[in-house]
Structure 1
Amino acid sequence: MKIQNGCSVRFWTDLWHPKGRLIDLAGEIGTQKLGIGRSARICDVFVDGEWRFRRCRDHFLQDLVHDIRELPLILTANVSDGVLWRDGDDTYSSRFNSKNTWGNIRKKKDQVMWSRLIWFQQGVPRFAFITWLAVRDRLSTGHRTAQWGQAQYCLYCGEPDETRDHLFFACPYTFTLWLKVAGNLFGKDPDPDWDTTITRLLTGHYDRLTFILLRLVLQVTIYYIWRERNERLHNNVSKPVEHIARLVDKTIRNRIMSTRYYLRPRLQGLMQRWFGAHDT
């Protein structure tokens, strides 16, 4: 925020600088060097159109004071203080906008190619989150927990090294499940290699409905594989591949129905495409 008008109650330390709140930039010692008390009001520091600071040799504070003097500030007596919300780099608004505020405070990074595999309109947040962890290799697989001194092995097939790539889908159990639920959506048999699967999803040429289903089946399958793995680890309960395949199929059909695809021209035929992918 920045000052709009008024001087009666607004504290100098709340003044907003393009790089942040001035008290956070200068610190308590900085304000003392500038001869300004913590409870000083803006009208105590900005008098007759001029900023009144104590001289100091700190080059950082000198630059800060220079920036402050450049601030366009007009104080009007007997008028309540007002604030403007920062909308962009150099724009302000009297109304708060959560989207613009989030855009200003968040750390921006380059968009990754695999983001469209995780976030899409027909996705489900809990499935997308687990898939996001899997893509970033942040799931607590045995390969990672072994660094904490815990014994590790694949709870599906007994492989000594339980890695992300083994679970999805090099393990015989999970690859059998992947074959059942993916059907012919890829146009050819799915590959057990994780990197190959992700590359085929990103670079393949699929129609709209097929691409929606491919992303959905990938996320739901990863979710249920991870959940079944944790059931075996913590509750010593296991399910056959056919049972997990039915769970995946039911979950996807329920999600397709919840989109009301039959009322949306861009999604018409979605359920038929899912059934057609599993005709034997």
Structure 2
Amino acid sequence: MGNGKQAFFWHDNWLRSGKLIDITGATCTRYQGVARSARVCDAVSTGQWRVRGQRSRNFHELHHKIQLEPVPNNLMANDQFLWRHEAYVYKDSFNASKTWEQIPNKWNGNKLATGDRLRKWGIQQGCVLCGERDETRDHLFFACPYSYTVWDRLASRLVGRRINPDWQDMLRFIQTGASNRADQVLIRLVFQAVVYNVWRERNGCRHQHSPRGIEQMIKAIHKGVKNMISSLRYPWNHPLNGLLRR
């Protein structure tokens, strides 16, 4: 951080905790009195942070963390945007392999990064799809009644009796459980589509979009998978094309 004129308050990682809009959701812009398009310098007035939330049970820790940050001013240099190449080493150049190594847990772990950061600040983030108090990866995929209903309705014909809400078990089935090549391709397409759409729906609801009903979600995913199969241009009698006639 420098003078705070380039970095966005809600959309840049100036607090070293991730993007604040992802951590708190869109409602926090109202609670803290900082516009969604604001730069960091816009949250400063007369040499002090002007951020509400000290009396809010949900945002007290975030407010406290901001107050501990040095207050930017016009005498400081411009903000700098750097990529972390390794621990404590930051550069202004992007390196794909170095960046990949900095992603915590990569594909492993049951925690959702945003929810984990919120819990460290004393903010409990529940599932916006079903109301479960603690949102984790394993809950969202597919212990959540909403996401499991979508998964079950779309994948049960392919998975059969093995269909269940356990993330690890479903991953094992997708990797090795299909009886033939056509089923393997199809189940992977369905799995990818369900995970993508559930995650997108979750993020939309987190930012105050109206949630889609389960039937609407199922129809949208089904249509998307059919379109993907059509674009692959399999012969008319290929087993995958059976889905197009369902």
**Structure 1 residue aligned with 2:132:** 159
Indicate the SS of the match to 2:131.
coil
Q: In structure 1, what is the Cα distance between the partners aligned to 2:136 and 2:122?
A: 16
Q: Post-superposition shift, 1:271?
A: 1.9
The change in CA–CA distance for 1:249 and 1:144 in structure 2 (over 3 A counts) is: farther
**Structure 1 residue aligned with 2:241:** 271
Q: State the identity %.
A: 39
Contact 2:124 2:134 in 1 (8 A): no
**Structure 1 residue aligned with 2:160:** 187
Determine if the alignment matches structure 1 residue 250 to structure 2 residue 223.
Answer: yes
Let me know the Cα RMSD of the aligned residues.
2.9
Aligned residues: 145
Which of residues 163, 166, 173 in structure 1 aligns to 2:146? 173
Q: Post-superposition shift, 1:206?
A: 2.1
Q: Post-superposition shift, 1:189?
A: 5.0
**Structure 2 residue aligned with 1:223:** 196
Q: In structure 2, what is the Cα distance between the partners aligned to 1:223 and 1:154?
A: 16
The change in CA–CA distance for 1:188 and 1:151 in structure 2 (over 3 A counts) is: same
Indicate the SS of the match to 1:186.
helix
Contact 1:262 1:269 in 2 (8 A): no
Indicate the SS of the match to 1:188.
helix
Q: In structure 2, what is the Cα distance between the partners aligned to 1:133 and 1:178?
A: 24
The change in CA–CA distance for 1:183 and 1:167 in structure 2 (over 3 A counts) is: same
Greater displacement, 137-146 / 208-217 = 137-146
Q: In structure 2, what is the Cα distance between the partners aligned to 1:246 and 1:238?
A: 14
Q: In structure 2, what is the Cα distance between the partners aligned to 1:143 and 1:106?
A: 25
Contact 1:133 1:139 in 2 (8 A): no
Q: In structure 1, what is the Cα distance between the partners aligned to 2:97 and 2:124?
A: 39
Q: Post-superposition shift, 1:144?
A: 4.7
Gaps of 5+ in 1: 1-104, 108-131
Indicate the SS of the match to 2:202.
helix
The change in CA–CA distance for 1:200 and 1:244 in structure 2 (over 3 A counts) is: same
Which of residues 206, 212, 231 in structure 1 aligns to 2:185? 212
Q: Post-superposition shift, 1:262?
A: 2.0
**What one-letter code is carried by the residue in structure 2 that aligns with 1:248?**
I
Which of residues 174, 188, 192 in structure 2 aligns to 1:201? 174
Q: Post-superposition shift, 1:187?
A: 2.8
Q: In structure 2, what is the Cα distance between the partners aligned to 1:200 and 1:227?
A: 24
Indicate the SS of the match to 2:127.
coil
Q: In structure 1, what is the Cα distance between the partners aligned to 2:126 and 2:161?
A: 31
The change in CA–CA distance for 1:217 and 1:144 in structure 2 (over 3 A counts) is: farther
| TM-score normalised according to structure 1 size | 0.46
The change in CA–CA distance for 1:138 and 1:170 in structure 2 (over 3 A counts) is: closer
What does the per-residue CA deviation read over 1:63-97, in whole Å, with 9 as the maximum and x for residues that have no partner?
xxxxxxxxxxxxxxxxxxxxxxxxxxxxxxxxxxx
Indicate the SS of the match to 1:261.
coil
Q: Post-superposition shift, 1:180?
A: 1.0
Q: Post-superposition shift, 1:142?
A: 2.5
Indicate the SS of the match to 2:153.
helix
Q: In structure 1, what is the Cα distance between the partners aligned to 2:177 and 2:143?
A: 21
Contact 1:134 1:164 in 2 (8 A): no
Contact 1:141 1:162 in 2 (8 A): no
The change in CA–CA distance for 1:151 and 1:187 in structure 2 (over 3 A counts) is: closer
The change in CA–CA distance for 1:205 and 1:222 in structure 2 (over 3 A counts) is: closer
